Amino acid sequence: MSATDRGGVARRCRGNRQRVGRVTHEARSRRPERRAPEGRRLEAERLPDHADRLFRAAFALCDTSHDAEDLVQETYARVLRRPRFVRRDGDLPYLLRALRNTWVAMRRAKVARPVTVELGDDVDWIADPDADPGATALDIRAAYAAIRELSDPLRETIVAVDVVGLSYREAARALRVREGTIMSRLFRARERVAERLEGAAG
């Protein structure tokens, strides 16, 4: 990845954190105080810390970076409408589950209205700064494209584990399935993505 590519990704991630920060600040100013039930309260101040990984997850689910940004913003807006409490799960698995549910709801809503596709010369992609530094923009774009062609269960699983970085247990809780199901789906998802990438290379 070139220095220019890394700079573009960094600027996009900083922009995501700034937008999420504004959303959390506005939500805190509007939200009335309520008596907290049992469990640890999800802290609005820490939500921007997860914005980058959630954006990469959203980008693997959506067709464009614009749709991914909308998905992350809508997820945070829904989470912040009322106090949320995390009992067993950590913040990230909880937020991934919220992202997935929001993605499903937004996709269903699109069915009822026409979709406008904008064509351009630029390719939208997002990279994990901790990923293999030898990966090129073309490699990353091909991987995300292959993930988007998976069935929803396989796509959600590989996003949870390989994109967001959850453990099998965390992914199982986030997606509300058994840990063995996560392992099985992840194996099939990785296998199909690898087949797609090998076919594209050949």
Q: pLDDT at position 38, please?
A: 60
> What are φ and ψ of residue 61, in 5° steps?
-90, -35
Domain that holds residue 71: 3-201
Compute the Cα dihedral for 76, 77, 80, 81 and give only its sign. Answer: negative
The three-state secondary structure class of 130 is coil
* Model confidence pTM above 0.75: no
Q: pLDDT at position 11, please?
A: 55
Query: Could you tell me how far CA 44 lies from the centroid of its own chain?
Result: 18
Task: Provide CB contacts within 8 A for 192, sequence distance 6+.
Answer: 146, 150, 154
Q: What is the dihedral of CA 151, 153, 159, 164, to 10 degrees?
A: 170
Q: pLDDT at position 74, please?
A: 95
Task: Provide CB contacts within 8 A for 124, sequence distance 6+.
Answer: 59, 64, 65, 66
Structure token digits, residue 102: 């929001």
- In the predicted model, residues of the chain with pLDDT beneath 70 are 1-38, 89, 111-137, 201-202
Query: Quick one: residue 165, left, alpha or beta (phi over 0 = left, psi -120 to 50 = alpha)?
Result: left
How many domains, in total, are found in the chain?
Answer: 1
d(CA 120, CA 114): 19
The three-state secondary structure class of 41 is strand
Are the CB atoms for 88 and 28 separated by under 8 Å? no
> What are φ and ψ of residue 41, in 5° steps?
-75, 135
Buried b (16+ CB within 10 A) or exposed e, 140-165: bebbbbbbeebeeebbbbbbbbbbbe
Q: pLDDT at position 178, please?
A: 96
Q: pLDDT at position 118, please?
A: 45
